[in-house]
Amino acid sequence: MPFTKRCFLFCCCLVLLLAGNAQTVTTLRLQDCYSLAAKNYPLAAQKALIDSTNKLTIQNLNHNYLPEIDLNAQATYQSEVTSLPIKIPNVNLPALDKDQYKAAININQVIYDGKTTYFLKQQQIINDVIRKQQVDVQLYQIKNMVNQYYFNILLMQERETLIGVEMQDINSQLHRMEVAVANGAEIQVNADILKAQLLTLDQQLSETRSDRAQALKGLGMLLKQDLNVNVNLEKPLVEHYPFNGSIESRPEEALYASQAKQADIMLQSVDSRYHPKFGFFGEGGYGRPGLNMLTNSFSPYAIGGVKVTWNLWNWGSARNEKSIWTLNKDMVLRQKETFELNTDIQLQQESEEIDKVKDLITKDDAIILTRARIVEKVVSQLNNGVITATDYLVQIDARTTAELNKKVHELQLILARVNYITIAGDNIQ
């Protein structure tokens, strides 16, 4: 195949490939943004670290049931040693050396520790749950950041569309005007006025696209995704959501429940520290003297047995500690009530916002209908030379503003519903 023909085929394939890529538009949903933000936000990695820490701590606590083995060695010199205060005829009792040596291995095995280790493990487990739930609470706040970016981008998408529609209408009139000017039926100034307005709208369009690109970049950084200008954001379908005011799904509710449970566990664990504890012990060693204190020779020795420890009186410390954890639980319940009250107020405000914006949209429809009739008349008047291009543009701008107001109110209504769902702690389907 000739070289030029191969180049031609290669260029055709490249053009087709680029054209296909140019037509590809990625669609992004609000719930996808929530998932990506929660997954890729740096704080999310902390939950895995908490799990690792908890696993190691539980392993260490399990070691409490294993025997403790210690190696001890000592050398001492004492000013006086044991001696018999009597003399026995014909018996020469050796004097003990004042320097003594000892090396021993001590073994202690817990039999029953009063459930101290059990409660320590329960405390660690609930602490792990609480720390992860605290992360969930912080991650949940990211939804508000996502909402802000998402709906700003949607608003700019609507603004781009409406500016484009207005430019098409003006272009249509400009084309007719230029023909009329060429035929001497219109003055040039009217055509120039339309051209100037087109330049202004083109400027606004460029500014809106630039703002949208910046917002997409900010959202992309939050999601850790490369979002280009071709990304299309879907409007959430939330009009059928049951707005019943329930907040049981909020992560704060689970956090308060776990904190109350933590106080209960701590209350139960207080008594465990004052229960009797049983264990085996053993010691084997080599030293001078051994167990026979009346010999100066080095000898091995061993000793073993069972020991019991019991703190019979704690001077009221247990009672005070229980009172502290009871008060802590009461504080958690007060925090829970405060959170629920504030959240109910927010839900009521969003519910009122939904009703208000619904009323505005109804009025928007009437305004747009009226503005559309006015534009029809001014177009006819402009074509007949009754009004100037400036008069025509005033009404065109008024119609576009009315349509933009409705789009803004529609997005405000969706946002108010999304905010309600976010406050309630539910997921958008």
What pLDDT sits at residue 339? 95
Beta bridge partners of 279: 110, 307
Average pLDDT over every residue of 51-80: 91
Amino acid at 143: K
Query: Which of 20-34, 94-108, 191-205 comes out lowest in average pLDDT?
Result: 20-34
Specify the pLDDT at position 146: 93
Q: Which CATH number fits domain 26-70+96-424: 3.20.20.10, 1.20.1600.10, 3.10.20.600, 2.40.50.140?
A: 1.20.1600.10
d(CA 41, CA 45): 8
- Considering the chain, what percentage of its residues have pLDDT values greater than 70? 93
Predicted confidence (pLDDT) at residue 14 exceeds the cutoff of 50: no
Cis peptide before 289 (omega within 30 of 0): yes
For residue range 301-319, list pLDDT tens digits in order.
999 999 988 888 777 788 8
Banded model confidence at residue 104, pLDDT cuts 50, 70, 90: very high
How many angstroms separate the Cα of 245 from the Cα of each of 242, 341, 348, 425?
Answer: 9, 11, 8, 10
The bridge status of strand 277-288 relative to strand 99-112 is antiparallel
pLDDT over threshold 60, residue 6 = no
Q: Which of 111-120, 182-191, 206-215 has the lowest mean pLDDT?
A: 182-191
Q: Backbone phi, then psi, for 303, in 5-degree steps?
A: -150, 145
What are the extents of the domains in the chain?
Answer: 26-70+96-424
Q: What is the pLDDT of residue 399?
A: 92
SS3 77: strand
Q: Say yes or no to pLDDT of 4 above 60.
A: no
Q: Tell me: pLDDT of 15 over 70.
A: no
Asked if residue 413 has pLDDT above 90, the reply is yes
Average pLDDT of span 138-161: 92
Task: Tell me the pLDDT band of 8, cut-offs 50, 70 and 90.
Answer: very low
Across the range 12-29, mean pLDDT stands at 50
Mean pLDDT score, 59-78: 91
Lowest model confidence (mean pLDDT) among 78-82, 240-244, 375-379, 403-407: 240-244
The closest alpha carbon to 67, from 274, 310, 304, 312, belongs to 304
pLDDT at 429 (0 to 100): 65
3-state class (DSSP) for residue 286? strand
What is the average pLDDT value for the chain, to the nearest integer?
87
Span 256-262, mean pLDDT? Answer: 95
How distant, in Å, are the alpha carbons of 75, 107, 232, 415 from that of 428? Answer: 75, 60, 18, 12
The pLDDT of residue 229 is 85
Radius of gyration for the chain, computed over Cα atoms and rounded to the nearest angstrom: 42
Nearest residue to 340 (alpha-carbon basis) of 230, 423, 225: 423
pLDDT in tens, 269-300: 888 888 889 999 999 999 988 888 778 888 99
pLDDT tens profile 216-245: 999 999 999 888 888 888 998 888 887 776
- Which of the four pLDDT bands, split at 50, 70 and 90, describes residue 16? very low
Question: Is the distance from CB of 127 to CB of 51 less than 8 angstroms?
Answer: no
Place of tokens 């400009």: 174
Amino acid 13: pLDDT: 42
Q: What is the per-residue pLDDT for 179?
A: 87
Give the pLDDT score at 318.
83
**Which pLDDT score is estimated for 81?**
81
Going by pLDDT thresholds of 50, 70 and 90, the confidence category of residue 23 is very low
